[in-house]
Amino acid sequence: MKTKRALVVVCLLILCAMGVFFWWKTQPQPTEAYIQLSELPGVSQKVLAAQNNLLRVDEPILFNRKTGMALFVVEILSRKNFGNERFLTFGGDAKSLQNFVAEITLVNAGPSRAGSVGEGMAQGVESLITGLWELLRHPIDTISGLGSAAYGLAIYVKDTPIAQVKADTSNLVNAYYVNEACVITDSHGADYFELKTDSGRAAIHNETNWKLGGQAVIELATFLVPFSKLKYAKEVGQVGKKVAEAANTARRLEKVGAISKEAAKFSRVGSLFPRMVGKMTDTLSRLKDAAVPRRFVPPVAKLGKAASADYKLTFFKAHPELEGKVVVHHAVEQQALTRYPGLLKEEELHSLENLRGIPNSQNADLHLSQIRKEWNEFYRNNPASGMTKQKLLNKASEIDRRYGGSFTPSLI
């Protein structure tokens, strides 16, 4: 009898413990959180080793638990190779950061490409188009390299209006070029569709151009016939579900500026380059909720002179369209008047230059709380005896750089 009762008690205790456990597990967690780089899910040792050596990822990082995406504010520490694109903000995950570290490494491995922005691909594509066009106009000279593809090509050229051949040639060359660039980027441990800097793209395009020799034109010619068939197939679905998905995602991302036109075009001819399109699909689906990369110049906090102590009036007079949409926050906090008496004037603190808008649509409380935490640490580490106005402004600039992308108007 006693044993039976004890058994019932044990069972009840187990049930209670399970209940508490499940209750605890199902408690809602806030979607957004600020985390340290080392807490980013899946972050690699390579990225952690690169932090403060190759690059500086501002911490804490805003992380969305639902999408798995973070917003990174990054400074590239090797200045000479990246010219004026040292400061970037972009969305992504641990893999994005790893790809970015690989991008910085590959740019640093070559000569400085700052300034050679964007020319590489255009030049490479142009030379390929010229080569292919020459081959189509004078097929006899190069026919031996084409082998059995020559027959199909001859029929295609004979039966297709010249304007269409020109358009096909141009589209195919672009996709072919992107595929080659993808393979090369891959070999560096980076991802072509995630390249963040013009210097990174220039490095890849330079290498791609160098690798595309005469044989590339022959290879292109053999692609032209299947490409033309693919191009005129009415249904995207005919080229496979995965490719169709990639094409749709790419179209959407192209619209918001997350990927280049070339990448979007590339997705549409995916069945010719299945490996890289598969890779692109993975990248695009991973990054579908990520913020678009942006270059920025770090903001510098300043103080002005307010005409009124009503700081909200000052802010909304300058930005009437934001009334009711943002929380107005002081860059140098109001409590600086209490903490450092005599250092600042009220009119400086409430000036437009010192006011920031934090959108209500975002989790304004989380942002404000995090900013306050940063200031709190600053007050802890800086005794009033050594405080200056410039020190306060430097801290405000640091916070503006880290969170300024979330402000409205945006500071970065």
What is the contact surface with another protein in residues (CB under 8 A)? 30, 312, 327-329, 333-335, 337-341, 360, 364-366, 368-369, 372-373, 375-376, 379-381, 383-385
299 DSSP 8-state letter:
P
Shortest CB 65 distance to another protein, Å:
13
Looking at the Cβ atoms of 369 and 388, the one nearer to another protein is 369
Looking at the Cβ atoms of 78 and 334, the one nearer to another protein is 334
Helix (H, G, I), strand (E, B) or coil at 406: helix
CA atoms of 269 and 257, how far apart (whole Å): 20
Sign of torsion over alpha carbons 380, 384, 385, 391: positive
* Parallel/antiparallel/unpaired status of strands 32-35 and 55-57: unpaired
Shortest CB 383 distance to another protein, Å:
4
Long-range Cβ pairs for the range 333-342 (8 Å, 24+): 333/372, 333/375, 336/392, 339/379, 339/384, 340/384, 340/387, 340/392
Shortest CB 405 distance to another protein, Å:
19
Q: Which of 298, 136, 111, 138 is nearest to 210 (CA)?
A: 111
Shortest CB 55 distance to another protein, Å:
24
Helix (H, G, I), strand (E, B) or coil at 44: coil
Shortest CB 344 distance to another protein, Å:
13
Looking at the Cβ atoms of 167 and 387, the one nearer to another protein is 387
Half-sphere exposure of 259 (CA within 13 A, CB side): 29
Looking at the Cβ atoms of 285 and 369, the one nearer to another protein is 369
Looking at the Cβ atoms of 211 and 325, the one nearer to another protein is 325
1 DSSP 8-state letter:
-
Phi and psi (nearest 5°) for 209?
A: -60, -40
Shortest CB 62 distance to another protein, Å:
14
Looking at the Cβ atoms of 30 and 213, the one nearer to another protein is 30
Contacts of 31 (CB under 8 A, 6+ apart): 64, 65, 66, 363
Shortest CB 33 distance to another protein, Å:
9
Helix (H, G, I), strand (E, B) or coil at 345: coil
CA angle 175–181–183, rounded 5-degree value:
105
Looking at the Cβ atoms of 106 and 371, the one nearer to another protein is 371
